[in-house]
Amino acid sequence: MAEEVKLFGVWGSPFSRRVEIALKIKGVEYEYIEEDLANKSPLLLKYNPVHKKVPVLVHNGKPIAESVVIIEYIDETWKHNPILPQDPYERALTRFWAKFIDEKCLPALWNSTWSKGKDREAAIEEASQHLNTLENELKDKKFFGGEEIGLVDIVASFVGFWFGALQEVSGLELLTEEKVPKLCKWSYEVVNQSVIKENLPSRDKLIAYFSARFADASK
């Protein structure tokens, strides 16, 4: 049976981009459908009725939501070029760090830019702690996945790319060579891996989008 793979995403979403990176690592061909979040398509609502969010992968008519769930599905369906390690203990550590980044780092990094007053101060403090935790976890590895990028690197691409743009727009200085040198080096390496580089949004477009939003939020 010919494979039919569709991805519902949004150009600037780190969550849809993750799934694109995973599909490219596997060399899976797919049709990309750009969603308008202000006017969600009936198909998106049908395929993800619980969260009504991108990304949604539809494989031979069967929908899957939630980016990390989708990436694990991709890894289990197309087994070449593994994204998760094979060893159960290494898999558990990989899942632990992916969860830590999604549940702890991302909200803190996001709020360190967009929150106000004391909430923002608290988010900056928390984000700084979480970046130190990632710095310690990197140790002397090239990537979180070791010599090759893996699930944690894909999930953490938010830190290396999106947060870099947020920092530039907001004037924050959390991800700096002085504070987290290993994470900065990782950030440069990961963003320049061809499979990631070719699947990131335009930095200029993202900066323009965040700048407009930041100007609005500062009014």
Number of residues assigned to the chain:
219
How many CA atoms lie less than 13 Å away from 54 in the CB half-sphere? 27
Of 77, 81, 176, 202, the one binding its own copies by CB under 8 A: 77
Q: 41-50 — which CB contacts under 8 Å span 24+ positions?
A: 41/8, 43/8, 44/8, 47/8
Q: Where are the alpha helices (DSSP H) in the chain?
A: 14-26, 42-47, 67-77, 88-100, 106-114, 117-138, 151-157, 163-170, 181-191, 194-197, 203-217
Smaller CB distance to its own copies: residue 101 or 196? 101
Amino acid at 210: F
Of 5, 10, 28, 93, the one binding its own copies by CB under 8 A: 93
Smaller CB distance to its own copies: residue 12 or 85? 85
Of 24, 91, 142, 203, the one binding its own copies by CB under 8 A: 91
Task: Copy the structure tokens of residue 191.
Answer: 């963003």
Smaller CB distance to its own copies: residue 48 or 113? 48
Least separation, in Å, of the C-beta of 218 and its own copies? 28
Exposed, middle or buried by CB within 10 Å (0-12, 13-18, 19+), for 200?
middle
Q: What does the angle CA 47 – CA 48 – CA 51 come to, to the nearest 5 degrees?
A: 170
Smaller CB distance to its own copies: residue 133 or 211? 133
Which range in 90-98, 116-124, 142-150, 174-182 contacts its own copies by CB under 8 A? 90-98
Residues 47-76 vs its own copies: string with x where CB under 8 A? ---x--------x--x-xxx--xx-xx--x
Total of residues contacting its own copies (CB under 8 A): 22
Smaller CB distance to its own copies: residue 95 or 203? 95
Least separation, in Å, of the C-beta of 213 and its own copies? 25
Least separation, in Å, of the C-beta of 107 and its own copies? 12
Residues 131-150 vs its own copies: string with x where CB under 8 A? --x-----------------
Q: How far apart are CA 166 and CA 191, in angstroms?
A: 15
Kindly list the distances between the CA atom of residue 48 and the CA atoms of 42, 71, 76, 103, 113, in Å, as whole numbers in the listed order.
10, 16, 21, 21, 29
Tell me if residue 151 falls in helix, strand or coil. Answer: helix
Query: Which chain residues interact with its own copies by CB under 8 A?
Result: 50, 59, 62, 64-66, 69-70, 72-73, 76-77, 88-89, 91-93, 95-96, 99-100, 133
